[in-house]
């Protein structure tokens, strides 16, 4: 699959390197062409090391402009800071119309989350793409793990979006990381993922074990007798 990434920061690096190592063609993009090219070269080296012995593995990561990355991808990931969404999609948006668009964005801080302005809807409006919100609940270092498994349990990745085919595509990419994709419902529920990220990040930064606030499935109420 060809994956265009709007962004050349941590999330672009972590997820793009994994997907390149899994044999996908990846193009990243950023505001500074030289810096983006350096990042792409580092990702190529890293992905090549991960692909290891896979004969003929295609691990090259390219660098391009916002519009080039948007045009390159069969699927395109938006991995810029919230402040960059409008300017970046104004440049790249037209090429995203009708494509699966992965939205990993979060508010710039837990106290900055605005439930009246979901980032996923903003991205949908500016791109005309089939937005799937995903990968926004975990720190970038989790996405560098191969695979992200905690306590013997593969990480589950909720996906929120309205287009079934786009969700299937993004689910495949989650599975490529060794994760379990979980249908999180339609795009209207993406704001719940954004709220969850804000809430959990607030707990983590306050020093709490956010994972401990949820019971296991067996005690969720859906599995209790009676």
Ligand X SMILES: NC(=O)c1ccc[n+]([C@@H]2O[C@H](COP(=O)([O-])OP(=O)(O)OC[C@H]3O[C@@H](n4cnc5c(N)ncnc54)[C@H](OP(=O)(O)O)[C@@H]3O)[C@@H](O)[C@H]2O)c1
Q: For binding to ligand X (CB under 6 A), which residues are involved?
A: 7-12, 30-32, 79-84, 87-88, 104-106, 136, 139-140
> Minimal CB distance to ligand X: which residue?
9
| CB of 64 vs ligand X, minimal distance in Å | 12
How far is residue 133's CA from residue 118's CA, in Å, rounded to a whole number? Answer: 11
- CB nearer to ligand X: pick between 38 and 164: 38
List the 156-161 sheet strands across, edge first: 61-64, 25-29, 2-6, 75-78, 100-103, 130-133, 156-161, 180-183
| CB of 9 vs ligand X, minimal distance in Å | 2
| CB of 106 vs ligand X, minimal distance in Å | 3
- CB nearer to ligand X: pick between 22 and 40: 40
How far is residue 41's CA from residue 127's CA, in Å, rounded to a whole number? Answer: 28
- CB nearer to ligand X: pick between 109 and 186: 109
| CB of 81 vs ligand X, minimal distance in Å | 4
- CB nearer to ligand X: pick between 31 and 97: 31
How far is residue 209's CA from residue 179's CA, in Å, rounded to a whole number? Answer: 21
């Amino acid at each position: 699959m060809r994956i265009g990434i709007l962004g050349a920061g941590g999330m672009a690096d972590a997820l793009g390197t994994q997907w390149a190592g899994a044999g996908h063609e990846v193009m990243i993009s950023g505001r500074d062409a030289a810096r983006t090219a350096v990042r792409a070269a580092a990702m190529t080296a890293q992905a090549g090391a991960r692909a290891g012995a896979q004969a003929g593995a295609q691990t090259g990561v390219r660098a391009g402009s916002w519009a080039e990355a948007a045009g390159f991808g069969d699927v395109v990931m938006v991995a810029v800071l919230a402040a960059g969404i409008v300017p970046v999609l104004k440049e790249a948006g037209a090429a995203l119309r009708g494509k699966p668009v992965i939205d990993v964005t979060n508010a710039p801080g837990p106290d900055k989350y605005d439930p009246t302005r979901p980032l996923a809807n903003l991205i949908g409006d500016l791109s005309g793409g089939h937005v799937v919100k995903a990968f926004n609940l975990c720190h970038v270092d989790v996405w560098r793990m191969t695979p992200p498994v905690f306590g013997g349990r593969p990480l589950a990745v909720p996906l929120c979006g309205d287009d079934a085919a786009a969700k299937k595509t993004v689910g495949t990419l989650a599975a490529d990381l060794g994760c379990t994709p979980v249908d999180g419902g339609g795009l209207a529920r993406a704001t719940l993922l954004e709220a969850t990220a804000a809430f959990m990040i607030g707990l983590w930064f306050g020093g709490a074990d956010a994972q401990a606030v949820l019971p296991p499935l067996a005690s969720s109420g859906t599995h209790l007798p009676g």
